[in-house]
A and B are shown apart, each in its own frame.
Chain A
Amino acid sequence: MSAPILSAEDVHVEFEARRGGGRARAVDGVNLDIAPGEIVALVGESGCGKTTLARTLLGLERPTSGRVLHRGTPLAYSSKALKRFRRDVQLVLQDPSGSLNPRHTVYDAVAEGLRIHGDVPNERERVADALSRAGLRPPERFFLRFPHELSGGQRQRVVIAGALVLEPNVIVADEPVASLDASVRGEILALLLRLRDELGLAALVVTHDLGLAWNIADRVAVMYLGRIVETGPVEKILTAPEHPYTQALLSVLPDAPGSPVVLQGEPPDPTRIPPGCRFHLRCPVLASGAAAAAGVDGACRGEDPGVLAGGTAVQAACHYARTVSSSADPAAVVRP
């Protein structure tokens, strides 16, 4: 892999718990690298820490420990340094209707980024350029429209144009198509792929939709309760997953082969992360006795499988997967 453009290095993010109780370890030790031109999907259940990790990578949240690296240099959190950083790494928000100001025209919404950065020369040209790259053509026809005069798909394109206008090298998109109709969703995903092919734009796409990862991502990172528990190339992880959690997530998709493994109960609470493997209380492999047969049930209950390394290797943070599989490389694991 070429030198990463954006990395998380053993990032931890803790919050004061909302209703008393202990501290919430929303991100609990994550290594993640994004290379130039690479599309990485970050997937996992609601509340597992995806948005918190994404915000931390954008410098919007400061890690409690660990650090974020931009082109190999640790992020500086002064407003001047962050402003410079944002030219290179842009956020595309969840829910297009919520992130556009209803009283701003499309032109103003897109030009805002330039104005914040004092890039006034060629404003009109650059706004037009960003809009047409986002698929709103001819751009002049959209300049004076307001958000309520656009469809949901068009609004999402305006949000993307607003991120593109500064010509970043990475975008971080949090659920970019979750609120869009199925038929429109494909168009926006095709746009992200085209931007990568034409501009070499890298992307971290946060989603709970594994089909989206199959549609556009090169690599996928599966997050569970604050950690990445399995990662690797999309073809491998989505067709032959080794972590029981990834296996369960894939098995409940409507047209998955085999019978669904429906995990019971609610996604667990980051203020009370179980000891041992953080998944062990819900793990079907442990519950079925397969982990005991492989002699790892003690480890499942008592020993943390550790934090996965960054990079592109196939890895699973699971004691069972490590004993039965050949491809999960135990050497890639950084012990906590």
Chain B
Amino acid sequence: MSLLEVDDLTVTYRTAGGDVPAVRGVSFALEAGQKLGLAGESGCGKSTMALALLRLLPRTARYTGEIRFDGEDILTMSWGRLRAVRWAGASIVFQGAMHSLNAVQRIGAQIAEPIRLHSKATEAEIRRRTGELLEHVGLPARRADAYPHELSGGQRQRVMIAMALACDPKLIVADEPTTALDVMIQAQILTLIESLVAEQGISLLMISHDLSVLADTCDRLAVMYAGRIVEEGPAAAVFGDARHPYGRALAAAFPRIGDPASRRRPQGLAGDPPDPADLPSGCTFHPRCPARLDHCDKLDPRLWPAGDDARAACVHVLPDKGLSLVAKESA
């Protein structure tokens, strides 16, 4: 049994302007101790997917499908049980959260609060645990007395990671943990996350728009486009030899310094990501796809085996490029 199994998950936001299908049938599994990276353009549904894992979305969001954490279905479990999972099972480092620390409370108190709420530890134990957590993420224990504004962005992100570790979770979901941080600080935070998950055998789901960072940190990568995973496989395969044209375009957007192929040749992708409320027919990527075939606007391909332990949702990996499927559908 995998630690986390997501099966045909959909999330739709109800808005005044109509339904927004933000996640449209996502399935994947994450094994204990494994690190999975989730990439994709802004708006493709990464954060929605992450928040759905612990039912943290606003009331306007409707879910279908299944999310099993340690064998239990998150979408149907009771509130009491869900609170327990959020407390001791999985924790999320939210996107941009380092900017949302409480400005008027010392960071030590902010780290201590959930420990106090959820355990019977004494004040002295809580203080010791808070100090330990800070040291663990590379901040001196005495910084517990600091207010958020006295810390740099990188230090605040370390505090967020300390909070995520407070309950010894089995899974950490980190949504854009290094975006907007400087290269050197980014390297510090990534090294920290990597060593923490390795030491404690924690599973990691890391979300980023930067495929190169994910490829470096994670075992497996999934690429999302318009609410679906369109490519998934071992990190090196997805980054180095993507089979979906979108995955290829995303990988090519991060040049390897020293590679003559990208020198004076920036690689981009024309067009804009689709509006989730108004998706193109067939393969949602077809209007921007450099490898489009005539029937791509008719066939909506689902993930199909593409190489070793990898899958892609593109007619190019389907048997006979999906032509027989198109014929069957139109018959």
Residues of chain A touching chain B, judged by Cβ–Cβ distance below 8 Å, are: 45-46, 151-154, 181-190, 193, 208, 210-211, 214-216, 234-235, 238-239, 248-250, 252-256, 260, 262-264, 266-267
Contact = CB atoms under 8 A, between A and B. Distances in A.
Interface string B244-259: 0000011011111110
B317 to A, nearest CB: 21
Contacts of B252: 186
- Give the one of A210, A238, A252 with max B CB within 10 A: A252
Interface of B: 41-42, 152, 154-155, 182-188, 191, 209-213, 215-216, 249-250, 252-258, 262-270, 272-273
Given A210-B257, A250-B257, A255-B216, A183 B268 contact: yes
A254 B212 contact: yes
Given A186-B253, A187-B266, A266-B154, 12 more contacts: A45-B184, A181-B42, A183-B253, A186-B269, A187-B268, A187-B269, A214-B263, A216-B264, A249-B184, A250-B257, A253-B212, A254-B254
A328 B269 CA distance: 39
Counting from the closest, the 6 A-B pairs by CB-CB distance are A186-B268, A187-B268, A189-B266, A252-B187, A183-B269, A182-B253
9 contacts: A45-B184, A181-B273, A193-B264, A193-B266, A214-B255, A215-B265, A249-B183, A252-B184, A256-B257
Nearest to B155: A266
A208 B220 CA distance: 27
Contacts, number: 113
B270 A187 contact: yes
- Give the one of A182, A208, A263, A266 with max B CB within 10 A: A182
Chain A binding surface, main DSSP class: helix
B264 A239 contact: no
B185 to A, nearest CB: 8
Given A183-B250, A214-B255, A215-B266, A45 B182 contact: yes
B269 A254 contact: no
Contacts of A182: 41, 209-211, 250, 253-254
B183 A253 contact: yes
A255 B212 contact: yes
Given A45-B182, A252-B187, A262-B184, A215 B255 contact: yes
B139 to A, nearest CB: 12
A186 B184 contact: no
A185 B266 contact: yes
A47 to B, nearest CB: 8
A185 B253 contact: yes
A214 B258 CA distance: 8
B231 to A, nearest CB: 14
A272 to B, nearest CB: 16
Given A182-B254, A249-B183, A255-B215, A215 B262 contact: yes
